[in-house]
Structure 1
Amino acid sequence: MRRDVEFDAEGVTLRGWLYLPDEARNPVPTIVMAHGFSAVKEMYLDRYAEVFAEAGLGALVYDNRNFGASDGHVRQEIDPWQQVRDYRHAITYAESLPEVDGDRIGVWGSSYSGGHVLVLGAIDRRIKCVVSQVPLISGHENFRALVRRDLVAPTLRMFEEDRRARYAGAEPAKIAVVAEDPGSTPCALPTPDSWEWFTKTAGSRAPAWRNEVTVRSVEMFTEYEPGTYVQWVSPTPLMIVVAAGDHLTPADLALAAYERALEPKELVLLPGGHFDAYVEDFEAASGAARDWFVEHLA
């Protein structure tokens, strides 16, 4: 069963879906979920929530502020620390619902939000279980891995020019999220699989998705280091799902973060790339997360 919901995040209304198991009669363990860099909830989060609901779990799925159905200004801007705070607002909202067991709340995140849930697991002890899928570990290292060395300096100059323009009163500049030819069109996620997944998924499932973010979003990405929190998630149970062929959020960074994490923890290694977790490897990814949540929450 799914219903539309909205909740207040300190003056900004966030909107999404609440999934509940069919014929649930008592408050249920519930997973709070949001998507990654620029993505909206229609980009396969419904499929994960359905798997969780079929296993007797609730799921609160929402769009990040400034994206999709949620309010917020500046549109298409991603502030990672604001998104972490919004997860905490979502948890508070979930606790208020009579259908939700507030003592059994988990968080799930993927890619950018996979980094967020590492931070959340370390700082918010209302959370009793964490699943971090193909996570961002280090914005700085990820930036260096994605951007050609000869383009690093021009990218930093772009950040500086945007700062000067905003100081002079201009609106924040925008940049594409993905591009078919990143060599000729600057974009935030310059990999071929990013272009293919975002454009294909937007066309088939998520017409609300827009291929742009603020330049400031990319700058904040480079400053964000969620992997530094991984050793503090314990004693909350942590699962990290890594795609062996991931070169968008490199697999080696995620595997190293898993080694730094303390028990209880579990590693799931998928065979494909970053976006295969939503499609080709969906059953393995969603099934592992479901079983982890059921083990530690239900």
Structure 2
Amino acid sequence: MLYLVAIIFFPVLSVPKQSMLNVKQPDKEDIKPPKYRKDVSFEVGNTALSAWLYLPEKLSTPVACIVMSHGFGGTKDMILESYALRFVEAGMAVLTFDYRYFGESEGEPRQLFMISYQLEDYKAAIEYARNLKEIDSDKIALWGTSASGGYGVVIAAQDKKIACIVGQCPALDSQEDGKLALKREGIGFFLGLFVHAQRDMGRSRFGLSPHKIPIVGRPGTLAMIRAPGAFDGYSKFVSASFVNEVCAR
């Protein structure tokens, strides 16, 4: 019991933040969105998800649409737009979105990562795109990296109307990923994550603020991802809405 009390209530497990925003980000008011892009939203249950819809300038018939999403902890304003604009210039539509609890989408607690919820959000984004008059509902493609690349494979296996998927280094086998991480990081790393997860889950049961740890960190620090090069890699794509922390549960 004393162990649980210490884990849940006392700040002995506080984790230093690892901020990536070393350069001042421009204010949203100073950023001019591309002419192809407009802000849209759709709901999952009672939660509104923020999205960007990109459409070609001249539309005579419904076009194919690529639904794009990010990997672990990513937001729609992290480099996805560079790809979206190229697809739009080629005559296709693109829909990017933030998962619930992340970026500009609604949901509390903030920065809560749940695979089942993100799959629901992805499916809702697909349905939203299919119901747009500008979109050919038989030509929906999925494009994702890492976690979202894996989501695309799962969803396409269930939804036979998906025209194609593009999965860049998709997360397909969590067991094998875990074995590789265990070999690289050692058992102590996973025991540490377990303790922090217990703290977060315990605090949630008492209605307390979530306990968070960094999404990505430098080797040797406490973070969900701390492989060599990961921190510097993420830093290249960091955006104003990206928060480098996630609920430890």
TM-fit CA distance, 1:105:
0.9
Q: How far apart in 1 are the matches of 2:113 and 2:141?
A: 23
Aligned mate of 1:200, from 236, 244, 247: 236
Larger radius of gyration: 2
TM-fit CA distance, 1:81:
1.3
Identify which range, 78-87 or 161-170, moves more after superposition. 161-170
1:10 is matched with which residue?
A: 45
TM-score by length of 2: 0.79
Identify which range, 92-101 or 152-161, moves more after superposition. 152-161
Tell me whether 1:189 sits opposite 2:225 in the alignment: yes
1:23 is matched with which residue?
A: 58
1:59 is matched with which residue?
A: 94
Tell me whether 1:41 sits opposite 2:76 in the alignment: yes
2:113 is matched with which residue?
A: 78
1:286 is matched with which residue?
A: none
Equivalent residue letter for 1:170: L
TM-fit CA distance, 1:165:
3.7
Deviation by residue 1:89-123 (Cα, 9 ceiling, x = unmatched): 11111112111111211111111101110110111
Q: How far apart in 2 are the matches of 1:39 and 1:166?
A: 23
**Contact 1:17 / 1:60 at 8 angstroms: preserved in 2?**
yes
Equivalent residue letter for 1:118: V
Q: How far apart in 2 are the matches of 1:46 and 1:159?
A: 33
Deviation by residue 1:227-272 (Cα, 9 ceiling, x = unmatched): xxxxxxxxxxxxxxxxxxxxxxxxxxxxxxxxxxxxxxxxxxxxxx
TM-fit CA distance, 1:146:
2.4
Tell me whether 1:149 sits opposite 2:186 in the alignment: yes
TM-fit CA distance, 1:160:
3.4
What CA RMSD, in Å, does the superposition of the two structures yield over aligned residues? 1.7
Deviation by residue 1:108-141 (Cα, 9 ceiling, x = unmatched): 1111101110110111223121111111112232
- Identity in percent: 37
Equivalent residue letter for 1:178: V
TM-score by length of 1: 0.67
Q: How far apart in 1 are the matches of 2:37 and 2:203?
A: 44
TM-fit CA distance, 1:168:
4.0
Equivalent residue letter for 1:150: I
TM-fit CA distance, 1:65:
1.2
> How many equivalent pairs are there?
211
Q: How far apart in 2 are the matches of 1:164 and 1:5?
A: 36
Unaligned runs of 5+ in 1: 217-298
> Which contiguous aligned blocks of 4+ residues in structure 1 show a shift greater than 4 angstroms?
none
CA gap of 1:166–1:91, structure 2 versus 1, over 3 A, is: same
Unaligned runs of 5+ in 2: 1-35
Tell me whether 1:211 sits opposite 2:249 in the alignment: no
Equivalent residue letter for 2:205: Y
Tell me whether 1:171 sits opposite 2:204 in the alignment: no
**Contact 1:146 / 1:190 at 8 angstroms: preserved in 2?**
no
Structure showing greater relative contact order (alpha-carbon pairs closer than 8 Å, 6 or more residues apart): 2
Tell me whether 1:138 sits opposite 2:176 in the alignment: no
Q: How far apart in 1 are the matches of 2:40 and 2:196?
A: 38
